[in-house]
Amino acid sequence: MGTRRNFIEKLTVSAIGLPLITNPSNLFAASEEPYQGRILKVAIMGLGSYGTRVAEAMKDCKKAKLVGVISGTPSKIVDWQAKYGIPEKNCYNYEDFDAIKDNPDIDAVYVITPNGLHCEQTKRVAKAGKHVICEKPMGINAKEGQEMVDACKTANVKLLIGYRMHYEPKTVEVIRMRQEGEFGQPKFFQGQSGFVIGDPTQWRLNKELAGGGAMMDIGIYSINGARYMLGEEPIWVTAQETKTDPVKFKEGVDETIQFQMGFPSGAVANCLSTYAMNNLDRFYMTGSDGYVEMRPSTGYGPIKGRTHKGELNQPHITHQTLQMDGMAELIFEGKQPIVPVNGEEGVKDMKIIDAIFKAVKTDGKVTLA
């Protein structure tokens, strides 16, 4: 910052007589002003690798702060206390976290546990009167998702889903372009989401905890991406499953699924979800007047992409930092992102996943209500 300021000050001196910059420090005043508004005080439930990623990202948040933890592993709680300065009174385990009801230091809980635990944990957090941020997928099926929405409405708390891409600058720009008609009529979307998964004993390959396999973890990105890139909700799906390793990918745990979606306008989507192939993180959408390709499209960043108008050059900012600040604005100020991140949005994705699994079993076209 100092170097940049010196440069501008020198420029001002050399351009004396030109009343363009009378006080160069004013150029930086807005960005340097500390945030004075309300801070969203968050407890993270589930201190695994993604919980750690969110915690690290929140160090740079202006409107959200990590203040508490909930974990079933006492040693992790101790480590997080030391690392993030979390007081003992804001630390809970899975048995006693209902006591957050009486803790005014916590506004919201970010649920980052295995998918199969989300529904019950969300209900308990809501009953304790705290806002819920739940990592996606929000549950293991649409029924659970709707129960979560209903529980939070009954408790009069917000339910938000961890759709970090809805805050990512290049993604937001593409959605803006589509909304303003710069691609013309969207016609076709292709989503490729996958990687080779490692440890066969991890919870993501456990049907009870994960609710499935690659589709629940990575395929949901192509589902959600198709919806925000095309700007419509699908009315039918078809799907085909391929399984090359039935030992690693047991019954009910999908390895690779190709799926197709049809939309009211006639637009179609063709997508791939897999735990068996690398180098798959690509979105492509073409319309009557233009196109966009993003690769990587949903990784932690930086996202890269280009349209018929040229390269996307929006800055890379840690997705979870933007997400948590954005969710603080939503909870306290009612400021909505360009695409919703509420529980209803999560249920829409879960209904599509349910339909895809049904299409795999029936080998037919499944109509969406």
Catalytic residue IDs? 136, 221
- What is d(CA 292, CA 306) in angstroms, rounded to the nearest whole number? 6
Taking Cα atoms as reference points, which of 171, 170, 176, 126 lies closest to residue 343? 126
CB 111 within 8 A of CB 346: no
Cα diameter, the chain: 78
- What is d(CA 45, CA 227) in angstroms, rounded to the nearest whole number? 29
Q: To which H or E segment does residue 209 belong?
A: helix 207-210
* Tokens, residue 85: 């300065």
236-242: strand order across its sheet = 310-311, 305-307, 291-294, 280-287, 186-194, 268-274, 256-262, 236-242, 366-367
One-character DSSP codes across 52-97? HHHHHHHTT-SSEEEEEEE-S-HHHHHHHHHHHT--GGGEE-TTTG
- What is d(CA 325, CA 69) in angstroms, rounded to the nearest whole number? 19
